[in-house]
Structure 1
Amino acid sequence: MPRPTLAQELDQLAVLIHNAGPAGVGSDALLQLLGGTHERRTLQRRLARLSEQGRITVRGEGRATRYHPSNPSHPQQPPVEAAPPAAWATADYVPTSAEGAEIRAAISQSRHLRKPVGYQLDFLSQYHPNDTAYLPHDLREQLHGLGRSPADQTPAGTFARDILNRLLIDLSWASSHLEGNTYSRLDTERLIEFGQAAEGKNALETQMILNHKQAIEYLVLQPENAQVRTDTLIALHAFLSDGLMADPASVGRIRRRAVEIGGSVYLPIALPQRLEELFGIVTQMAAEITDPFEQAFFLMVHLPYLQPFEDVNKRVSRLAANIPFIRHNLCPLSFIDVPQQAYVDAMLGVYELNRVDLLRDVFVWAYERSCQQYVAVKQNLVPPDIFRLRHRQALAEVIAAIVRQGEAATEDAVKRRMPASVPEADHTHFVQLALAEFGALHAGNAVRFGIRPLEFGEWAGRDRGDASYGA
C-alpha cells in the first residue's frame, strides 16, 4: 500500500479530532488512536499545520493541551483511502474518545472475566459539587452555546412548554427505546396524540410510553415541580413505574430488597436504611451543583449507580437530567437516536469501573443531537396553548354536547355545560376558547371533538337564527 500523502495524514488527523467531540482530545490519546503510525514530534508538526490552516483549535498548555475541531457542526471529510479508526467503525455507536474506547473494550469482555464489584462510596465522596467536574469547563461552555434558546430570558420552563408536543413524543419514544421498547416513533405519536395503541405490542410497552408522557407533563406543565429534590425524584419514579412493577407497593418507593443488574457484575447496596441515606445525599449533592449541564450529568451517573428503586432507575435519571434544562430554559435532552448499545456500555462503565468517560461521550452526542432537533427548528414551531392543553377534555365535552343537542354556540350555552373540572377562575377564558373553537369548526376538523361528519352537518344546517359555523 502506498504511503499516505501529507494531505491525507492531515485529513485523517482532523477526522480523529472532530470525532472526539467538544471535549477535545490530547496528544497521548491521538498517538494511541493512530496505532503507532506517527512519532510524537511528527504528530506535533501535523497538529501545528492543522492549527495554522484553521481546521482545529488548541486549548491549554503542556500536558493539559487539548485539540478541538474549529467547527464542530461541520466535520472534516476524510480521503477515500483513510479508513476511520476501529472505535468508530460501527454505524450504531456514538463518536468515542480514547478514554471511552478503553471503557468499551473493558466491559466488552465476557462477564466471567470481569471482577464482581459492589457500591464504592469513594466514587461519590470524592465528588465535591462546584469543585469537581465530570464535564470540563470548555465542554460546558460549548454545551451552553448549543443549548441556549430564544426563551433564555423568559420564565423557567418556557422553552420546554413551547416544544412540548414534540418533546412528549421524542422523549417518551427514545427513553422507552433505550429500555428495549419496540414501539416506533410513529406508533408513539399515535398513542400520545390520539390514544391509539399499536397493534402487536404488549400492554407493558404501551404503559411504558404513557408513563413517560405523564412524567414529562409533570415537569413541564408545572415548572415548580422541576426541582432536584427527593420528593420530585420519587414522584418521577411513581409516574414512570406505574403498572410496571411486580410489587405495586414498590411504585414511588425506595427499594427494600437487594437487586441485580442483568449482564453486569455490579452488585448495588442492599441495606434499605443505608440506601435511603445515600439517596438523600446524592440528591442534595446534585441540588448544590450550579451548572445545569454538570448537574444533569451527575444525575445520569449517580442515580443509576445507586439504584435507589427496584427498577426504572435509568428512566428516572434520564428525565431527572432534564430538570436543570427546564429550569434554565435550555434545550431539553430527548435521547433521540441514541444507540442502545452505546448507552448500555456507558452505564456498565459507571457500574463496574466507576468511569464516566463513555457516558460523557454519549451525553455530549445526545445533547448535540437534541439541539439539532429543537433549537434549530423552534422558530418554525407554533407554541402550544397550555390552557387549552390543560382543559382539552372539558373543551371536547362541551363542544360535542352543544353540537349533538343542536344548540347555538353562545356564551350561555357554554356556561350551562361548563364541567366541574374547570376552576371558577378559568371560566371566562374557557368560554372565550370554546367560542373561538366554534368559530373555526368545520366538517373536516370536528372529528377532534368526537363529532361525526353527519352530526356536524345536521348541526350546521339548522336554522337557529345564529351565525353560521363551518361555512
Structure 2
Amino acid sequence: MPQPRHPHAWRALLALLTAHPDGLGIEAILAAQQPPVARRTLQRRLAQWVQEGLLLTQQEGRALRYTLAPQQAQGADARPPEPDWPLSPEGAAIRAYVRQPRALRTPTAYRQRFLEQYQPNHTHYLPSALREQLHALGQSPSAHTPAGTFARDILNRLLIDLSWASSQLEGNTYSRLDTERLIALGEAAEGKDALETQMILNHKSAIEYLVLDPTHAVITAETMIALHAFLSDGLMADPAACGRLRRRAVEIGGSVYLPIALPQRLEELFQLVLRMAAEIHDPFEQAFFLMVQLPYLQPFEDVNKRVSRLAANIPFIRHNLCPLSFIDVPQALYVDAMIGVYELNQIELLRDVFVWAYERSCQQYAAVKQSLAPPDTFRLRHRQSLSEVVAAMVRHGEPATPAAILARIPASVPTTDHPRFVALAQAEFAALHAGNAVRFGIRPLEWEAWRARGLT
C-alpha cells in the first residue's frame, strides 16, 4: 500500500472519507480541514494523492468528487470495529440518517426554537431514572469535601486520559503512552505533527485551569472564553480568534447545517445558553445540556466541541463526581451524534454516547476511587497554605528542611498546628516529582531545577 506524503493531513482525510464512502467534493473537504488550509494547498495534495493511487475522482458536472481507492477503503474497514454500542432505537435511526450522503440530507440553519423549548429544571434531556443511575455510578469518596477535591486527587490520571481521548475525537494520533510522556516529561512523540503535540498540551492547560482553582469551575462566559483560549492556543488560522466569539460565518465539515452568522445575535444566544445552563440543578443534565447546546451554537470559529467536552466536566468537578474522560469513544460515532444534533435537533444518539462514555469513565476510575485514602481533614483545612508553601520553596530554591518550612508558614495557620503542618509539608516534598508537581502549580522545569540542586 503506498505511503502518502503529508501523513497527518492524509489521516484526517482518510477518517473524513471513511465516514462518507460516497465521496466528497473539494468544498466539503476544505470546510472540514482543521486547522484550515489554503484552497490551493488542498488542491495540490488531492492531486498528489490521486496520482499516488490513494484517491479516485468522479466527475459531477464541472466539479470532482473524491473517494478512497479500494485498497484504502478496505484498510479503513479493517480497523477495530466499534463496540457493540447499546444504541436506543431513536439513536440508531439518527445514525442511519446522518450516514446517508450529504445530497440526501436536508440543509438546515440554526433553529432558536430548539433552545427556547428547553426550560431548566422542567425540561430534561436525561430522564429521571437515567440521572439517578448516573449519580449512583459517579459517586466518589470525596462527596462531602470541598468542590474539586476528587478531581485534584486524580489529576495526574485525568490530565492524561482526558487530554488523550478528547484529542483523539479530533483526529489526533498520539497514543496514550505518548500522551503520558508528553504531559509528565514534556517529551513530544517522534514523527508526530507539531499541531498534534500542541493540541495535547492545550488540553492539559485547560484541565489544570478548571481543577487547580475551583473558582474557575463555573458556568460563565468568562470561563468558556478562557477554555477556548487555552484549547485553541496556536491552532487558529487567525490568532486573534483565540479566546474570542466568532465574527464571521462558519460551516461544519461533513454536515448540511449552517450555524448562525450575525455576531451580535451570536453573542446574545451565547449568553442565553450559559444562563440557562447555570440554572440547571442536576449536574448530569447540566453537563449534557452544554454538550448539546454549545456546539450547536458554534460560538467560536473552531474548537467548539473541545470547549463543550471540558465544560461538561465543570458540574462533575464542582460536585466531586467521577469526571467524564471520553475514553474509548469512537470518533465516527461521536461525529454522527453531533451531526444528529446539528441537522435534526435530536439528542438521542448523543445521549447514548454520553451515557456509555460516562459509564466507561467510571469503570476506569473505579480502582482509583477504591485506592484513595479517606480524606485528611487537617490537610483539607490547610490545603491552600500547603500549596503556597511548597510552590514558593521550590521556586525560590529552598531546601525542604523543617526550619525552612516553618519560616514559610503563613499567619493563617494557627501556631498549634505548626508541627503537624511541617510534617505534612515534608511528606509532600518526599513524594514530589515532575508528574505530580502540577498540583502545586509547579512546572516540570521548575521542579527539575529544584531537584538538580539537591534540595530534596
In the superposition, the TM-score normalised over structure 1's length comes to 0.68
Instruction: State how 1:396-415 maps to structure 2 within 5 Å.
Output: 410=401
Of 273-282 and 433-442, more deviation after overlay is shown by 433-442
Name which of 342, 346, 349 aligns with 1:351: 342
Contact 1:118/1:269, CA 8 A, preserved across alignment: yes
What is the letter of the counterpart of residue 240 of structure 1?
L
3-state SS of paired residue (2:231): helix
* Residues 1:155 and 1:434: Cα distance change in structure 2 (over 3 Å): closer
- In the alignment, does 2:240 pair up with 1:224? no
Contact 1:395–1:434 (8 Å) recurs in 2: no
Query: Per-residue deviation at 1:379?
Result: 2.1
Question: Which of 348, 355, 361 in structure 1 is aligned with 2:352?
Answer: 361
Any conservation in 2 of the 1:93–1:339 contact (CA below 8 Å)? no
Q: Which amino acid aligns with 1:339?
A: P
Indicate conservation of the 8 Å contact 1:156/1:329, yes or no. yes
Instruction: Tell whether the 8 Å contact from 1:94 to 1:342 is kept in structure 2 after alignment.
Output: no
**Cα distance in 2 between the residues matched to 1:155 and 1:414:** 25
The alpha-carbon deviation at position 166 of structure 1 amounts to 0.5
Q: Classify 1:257/1:452 alpha carbon distance in 2 versus 1 (closer, same or farther; 3 Å).
A: closer
Could you tell me which of 106, 109, 130 is aligned with 2:121? 130
Deviation string 1:221-247 (CA, Å, 9 cap, x unpaired) is 111111111111111111111111111
1:284-339 superposed Cα distances (whole Å, 9 cap, x missing partner): 01111111111100000000000000000000000000111111111110101111
The worse-fitting range, judged by mean Cα deviation, of 447-456 and 160-169 is: 447-456
Once residues 335 and 215 of structure 2 are traced to their aligned partners in structure 1, the CA distance between those partners, rounded to angstroms, is: 32
Alignment of 1:272 with 2:263, yes or no, is: yes
Please state how far the C-alpha of 1:113 moved relative to its aligned partner.
Answer: 1.5
Work out the CA distance in 1 between the residues paired with 2:228 and 2:121.
27
Q: Which residue of 1 aligns with 2:134?
A: 143
| Alignment correspondent of 2:313 | 322
Contact 2:248/2:263, CA 8 A, preserved across alignment: yes
Question: Structure 1 residues 394, 281: closer, same or farther in 2, change over 3 A?
Answer: same
In structure 2, do the counterparts of structure 1 residues 454 and 146 end up closer, same or farther at CA, with 3 Å as the change threshold?
A: closer
Corresponding pairs, count: 354
**Aligned: 1:203 with 2:194:** yes
Q: 1:94: Cα distance to partner?
A: 2.8
Deviations 1:363-422 (A, max 9, x none): 0000000111113431225799977777777655666x86xxxxxx75567899x9xxx9
Partner residue, 2:246: 255
Kindly report the root-mean-square deviation, in angstroms, between the aligned alpha carbons of the 2 structures.
3.3
Percent identical among aligned pairs is 69
Out of 280, 288, 294, the position equivalent to 2:279 is 288
Q: Residue 95 and residue 410 in structure 1: after superposition, are their counterparts in 2 closer, same or farther (change >3 A)? A: closer
Matched, 1:337 2:328: yes
Q: 1:438 deviation in Å?
A: 7.5
Greater shift after overlay, 94-103 or 306-315?
94-103
What SS does the aligned partner of 1:375 have? helix
Amino acid at match of 1:211: N
The aligned residue for residue 153 of structure 2 is 162
Q: Which has the higher contact order (CA 8 A, sep 6+)?
A: 2
Residues 93 and 271 of structure 1, relative CA distance in 2, 3 Å threshold: farther
Give yes or no for contact 1:107–1:348 (8 Å, CA) kept in 2: yes
Counterpart-to-counterpart distance in 2, 1:263 and 1:441: 47
Decide whether the 8 Å contact of 2:334 with 2:353 is kept in 1.
Answer: yes
Relative distance call for 1:432 and 1:247 in structure 2 (3 A) is farther
Q: Which residue of 2 aligns with 1:173?
A: 164
Q: Which residue of 1 aligns with 2:180?
A: 189
The 3 A distance-change label for structure 1 pair 451 and 224 is closer
Aligned to 1:313: 304
- Contact 2:141/2:372 (CA < 8 Å) preserved in 1? no
SS at match of 2:198: helix
- Offset of 1:193 from its aligned partner? 0.8
- Paired with 1:294 and 1:273, the residues of 2 have a C-alpha distance of 28
Evaluate the alpha carbon distance shift between residue 377 and residue 433 of structure 1 in structure 2; reply closer, same or farther with a 3 A threshold.
closer
Q: Which consecutive unaligned segments of at least 5 residues does structure 2 have?
A: 1-79, 434-443
2:82·2:330 contact (CA, 8 Å) conserved in 1? Answer: no
In 1, Cα distance between equivalents of 2:332 and 2:304? 17
1:293 partner SS: helix
CA offset at residue 258 of structure 1? Answer: 0.5
Deviation digits for residues 42-78 of structure 1, max 9, x if unmatched? Answer: xxxxxxxxxxxxxxxxxxxxxxxxxxxxxxxxxxxxx
| The structure with more radius of gyration | 1
Distance 1:441 1:344 in 2: 40
Relative to structure 1, the CA distance from residue 424 to residue 259 in structure 2 (aligned partners, 3 Å threshold; closer, same or farther) is: farther
Cα 1:185/1:430, change in 2 over 3 Å: farther
Name the CA shift for 1:439/1:150 in 2 (closer, same or farther; >3 Å): closer
Question: Higher mean Cα deviation, 428-437 or 292-301?
Answer: 428-437
What one-letter code is carried by the residue in structure 2 that aligns with 1:104? R
